[in-house]
Chains A and B, each alone.
Chain A
Amino acid sequence: MVAFEPVTALIGGSLIGLSATLLLLFNGQIAGISGIVNGAIEFKADRNWRWLFIAGLLIGGWLYERAIASQPTPTDEFSPWPMIIGGLLVGVGTRLGNGCTSGHGVCGLGRLSVRSLVAVLTFLTTGFITVFVTRHVLLLG
């Protein structure tokens, strides 16, 4: 585990806020990634920009990993069940609740939306409880 690096965390977070601002200023769209992915999969029309945004996320991650990172991001052991169960719950939960960390967190809180504040406090709470249960009650590592 690499030590906490507050400056890169703040720069990275600011870039995320800048990205959401650009998408809203130029295209009028909210950078809510669960919604963008859902639209890219399910919509018939107006899906090209969504796939391009998703491609950008991948390219940005790749650029960081190849050109900026002082050391590669650690890859922990393959954990199929947490990925399958967690992924299914994230897919269903973000559809039912209309958003995730980006749509409700970065954008919703930036819009001072009360719905988003309720969503953020809710998913933080269940996230904290879930990790407490998996790590300290079930001792799953």
Chain B
Amino acid sequence: MEKNGKKNGIALFSGIIFGLGLGLSQMIDRQRVLGFLDLAGTWDPTLLFVLLSAVTVTAIAFRFVFSRLRPIFAEKFYVPTRQDIDSRLVAGAAIFGIGWGVSGYCPGPGISALAIGSWNPVLFLMAMATGMIVFNRFNKQ
């Protein structure tokens, strides 16, 4: 129980840090995201800077993390092991990209954007959850 408490605390804390990062980098403003995706318009490089700085941190820090035998509060690393490129991966990413371009939200910014007081992220998240639930139902059969 005590260990679960610590893990829950880390989850809450890292969620807050992630949300602060999405706010500071203005990814919670969907027009910024759409501005990045609009290569033929007034291109906004913000998202490129955000993704590159985030990946620079993870690419360096993950090397040190994975040099450990196990995480600090958990028994093992829960990391995907698949390495094959299949049609589901490509089709899924393609569908996700279309939804991203239509709405200007991906899952993280959609949640943090609830703080800006607009109905857009509320509706986006309800539709996203519906999409996941419907997919899971069909995928089970």
Contact = CB atoms under 8 A, between A and B. Distances in A.
Contact of B115 (A26, A30, A64, A110): A64
Contact of A90 (B12, B72, B80, B128): B128
Contacts of A86: 99-105, 124, 127
A97 B54 contact: no
Contacts of B40: 132, 135-136
Interface size class for chain A? 35 or more
Among A9, A33, A48, A114, the one with the most B-chain Cβ atoms within 10 Å of its Cβ is A9
A62 to B, nearest CB: 4
Among A5, A50, A62, the one with the most B-chain Cβ atoms within 10 Å of its Cβ is A62
Interface in B64-114: 65, 68, 70-80, 82-85, 88-108, 110-114
Contacts, number: 490
A54 B15 contact: yes
Given A1-B31, A118-B89, A130-B102, A25 B71 contact: yes
Interface size class for chain B? 35 or more
A82 B130 CA distance: 15
Interface string B1-22: 0001011101111111111111
A61 B111 contact: yes
A39 to B, nearest CB: 10
B123 to A, nearest CB: 4
A89 B94 CA distance: 10
Interface of A: 1-2, 4-6, 8-31, 33-34, 37-38, 41-42, 48-50, 52-65, 68-69, 72-76, 78-80, 82-98, 100-102, 104-115, 118-120, 122-132, 134-136
